[in-house]
Each structure stands twice: as C-alpha cells, then as structure tokens.
Amino acid sequence: MTTMFIVSLVIAGVFFASPFRRLKILTISDLLKNAYGSHFERIATLFMIPFYIGTLASQMVAMGYVFQICLDNVQDHAALFSAFSNEFLTLLPDHQSGSDWLSYGGRILMAGLGAIMGQDLIQRSLSSRSTSVACYSAIAGGVLYLILWLIPLFIGLAGRIIFPSLEHPEQLIPMLAHKFLSPLAFILFACGLFSAIMSTADSYLFAGTSLVTNNIILRIRKTNSEKEKISWLRGTNIAIALFAFGLALSGQKIFDMMVHSGAILFVAIFVPASAAIFWKGAHRVAAWGSLIGGVAFWAGYLVYNYSTLSSETYEDVLFSAATFGALCSLTAYAVISAVRVLPISFVQPKPEMIEDIAA
C-alpha cells in the first residue's frame, strides 16, 4: 500500500498537477461540476466525504492506541532481529489465482490511482507557486516518501520478531519506543507521533470541510457574505470531526476504515474525473453511469462475498471489491460514451446536453 501511495504522488506530479492548475479550480468537485453539471457535483461530493471522515477517524483511533499503551503496563518481549521475512521479497501474489490477482489489483490501483483524486493532494497542487513547482514537488514528495518509508518498514519487520505474539499490530511502534527509549526520549517520541497524527488528521478534516461547504452547502444556500461562509465552514468542520469521532469509537480497525473510505473515492470518482481532465468528449450521462455502476458493483461484490468473509480473507475481499468496482466504472463510462444515446436520463437534461447527444 505504501509503495502505491508513493507511485500516486509521482503520477500526480507527472500527469495531473498541471491540468488541475490550468483549470483554476478549488476542489475536485469543481472539476466535476464544470464537466457534468451541478447535480453530478453534489452527488459525487457525497461519495467523497466518507473517505475523509473514515481517514480522520483512523487517525483518532491511532491516537487512542497511543493513549492506551501509555496507560497500560505492557509486558516486554526480547528477541533479536536477524533476517527479513521472505514475504516482503516478492511483488506478486502468492497463489496467483483469479481472486488473488483481483485483490492484488485492488491494492495497487486503489492507492496508486484513487489517492490522486483526494482533495488533500489536489489542494497542495493548486496552492503551489507555479505549475512547475506543483509538478516537481509531487514527484519529489514521492521520492522522499520512498526514502522515509524504508525506516518504518525496517522497524515493522523487526517488530514482528521482537514481539511475535503481539495481538494488535497497531501497537507495535509505541511498544518498541516504550521498550528501547529512555523516559525523556519516549516523551519526545510521543510528542512527535501526536504531531504527525494531528498533522494528517487536520489535513483530511479541512479537505472534507472544503468539499462539503463549497460544493454542497454554498451551492444550495448561496451567499456573498464572507462572515456567513466562515460560519458554515466552522460548523461543517465541527460536524465532520464529531462524526469521525463517533466512528472511531465504534471499535473498527484503522485499516478497515481507510480501505472502506478510500475504495469509495476510487470506484466512484477516479474515472469521471480523469475523463473530464484528459478527454474533450467527456459525457455527462456516462459520468452518472460510471459513478453509479462503480459503487453498485463494488457494494454488490462485498454483499455477494459476505458469507465467505473470515479474518484471513477479509482484506483480500475488500481490495478485490475495489478492483471490480473500478473496472465496472470504467466499462460503464466507455460503453455509454460509445452509445451516446440512452432511453432514460439519470438527470434532468439541459439544452446543451440535448445538443451534445443529438450530435
């Protein structure tokens, strides 16, 4: 997963940063509005919100684990790290069956492509001083991410040997710090960990707030008062934080929250948004079909395989569903764009839309 987030930064810098800036948009939903209309913009924004709430909740859960470790008397385990695990030396699925490849594709595509449509990444490109800075900063971020990622990778591999019976993997890093650092160093580590968690959390909180306020609330309740806009931003910010906090208290694992929320962003938004950027023939009805088809088949895949879920297959099913939903989203967009005429429109047709279909 981390590898593909690195790839997503590089892809964003090479292909997406320049178009985002050229279009002079504030959010990804602005792009969708310009290409497909306000109705699609609002629905698409609703599908994007779970990603930010889920990820924010995961940061809250992570902070909860740190507090729990600090309060509990964790028994230390001693062992020496001698070799890397063989499972990290291959990039291909173990069994290479059809379901394994489907899950493998989900792990790569969901993070490597879906993350590009995240408001948190886009707003950094839009706030850069120039197009070249936006492009190269994303690529440089991917390279630095790779370098820094090697550190926690090594720690994670070592931790599996040092704490072979660790029941909750989320507790590994704090346990290692507690075991090997002096009290003062552990305090500094905890402060740094909290800072990293809060930095990531507020990025997703502000991104979600921007989407909800600018692309839903202020589209319905139009106002020129900056004071009223700020009030809506503050209220939305608090509401999202409270909702994420409630989700964090539900007891779900960090990984599950991020996978569920990120998959929706990938299967619903990536294809229509990419088409709007790179294809002049972007089609409104095709966008609706892509969004609805991607989400429907993603959810249908999860429901169909619900009876077979176990602790061993849970992750694979989640990633396989993301791959399946994304393929259906792409297929729906391509087929509808090729046909160009539908007997039933998903939205009220506008004059320019009727002319486009007639052409």
**pLDDT tens digits, the chain, 359 residues: what are they?**
566 777 787 888 888 888 888 887 878 888 898 889 889 988 988 888 877 777 777 766 665 665 557 445 444 444 434 445 455 555 666 666 677 788 777 777 776 777 777 776 777 777 788 888 888 888 888 888 777 677 666 666 666 666 777 776 666 777 767 776 677 666 666 666 666 666 667 777 877 888 888 888 888 888 888 888 889 989 998 988 888 777 777 655 555 666 666 788 788 888 999 999 888 888 889 999 999 999 999 989 988 887 777 766 777 888 888 889 999 999 999 999 888 654 444 444 444 443 443 44
Q: What is the pLDDT of residue 76?
A: 47
Q: Which residues of 326-342 are buried (b: 16+ CB within 10 A; e: fewer)?
A: bbbbbbbbeebbeeeee
| Residue 41 contacts residue 219 (beta carbons within 8 Å) | yes
225 CB-near residues (< 8 Å, 6+ apart): none
How far is it, in rounded angstroms, from Cα 258 to Cα 244? 12
d(CA 278, CA 281): 9
Could you give the CA distance from residue 315 to residue 330 in angstroms, rounded to a whole number? 23
User: How much is the pLDDT for 78?
Assistant: 45
Q: Please check whether residue 65 lies inside any domain of the structure.
A: yes
Please check whether residue 86 lies inside any domain of the structure.
yes
In a domain, 295, yes or no: no
Residue 115 in any domain: the answer is yes
Rounded to two decimals, what is the model's pTM?
0.62
User: Position 130: which residue type?
Assistant: S
* Residue-level pLDDT at 189: 65
Residue 186 forms part of a structural domain: yes
- Residue 126 sits at φ, ψ, to 5 deg, of -70, -25
Tokens representing 50 are 């779970």
Q: What is the CATH number of the domain that holds 124?
A: 1.20.1730.10
Locate 1 and state its tokens: 């997963």
Q: Which residues contact 282 (CB under 8 A, 6 or more apart)?
A: 35, 36, 272, 275, 276
Q: How many CA atoms lie within 13 A of 132 on its CB side?
A: 0
219, 254, 222: which is closest to 55 by C-alpha?
254
Task: Name the DSSP letter for residue 27.
Answer: S
CA angle 170, 175, 178 (to 5 degrees): 150
Q: Which of 254, 276, 227 is nearest to 44 (CA)?
A: 276
Please report the pLDDT score of residue 345 as a whole number: 44
The C-alpha atoms of residue 315 and residue 172 are separated, in whole angstroms, by: 20
Q: Are 317 and 103 in contact (CB under 8 A)?
A: yes
In angstroms, rounded to a whole number, what is the distance separating the alpha carbons of residues 305 and 322? 13
Q: What is the Cα–Cα distance from 197 to 225, expressed in whole angstroms?
A: 34
Domain that holds residue 219: 2-254
350, part of any domain: no
What contacts 185, CB < 8 A, 6 or more positions away?
A: 177
Number of helices followed by number of strands (H, E) in the chain:
15, 0
Is the residue at 267 inside a domain?
A: no
Could you give the number of structural domains in the chain?
1
Q: State the Cα–Cα distance between residues 78 and 206, nearest whole angstrom.
A: 42
Q: Is 133 helix (H, G, I), strand (E, B) or coil?
A: helix
Residue 46 lies in a domain: yes
Nearest Cα to Cα of residue 54 among 199, 252, 236: 252
Cα–Cα distances (Å) from 340 to 283, 350, 354, in that order, read: 8, 15, 11
Could you tell me which residues come within 8 angstroms of residue 57 by beta carbon, excluding any fewer than 6 positions away?
244, 245, 247, 248, 252, 257
DSSP secondary-structure letter at 307? G
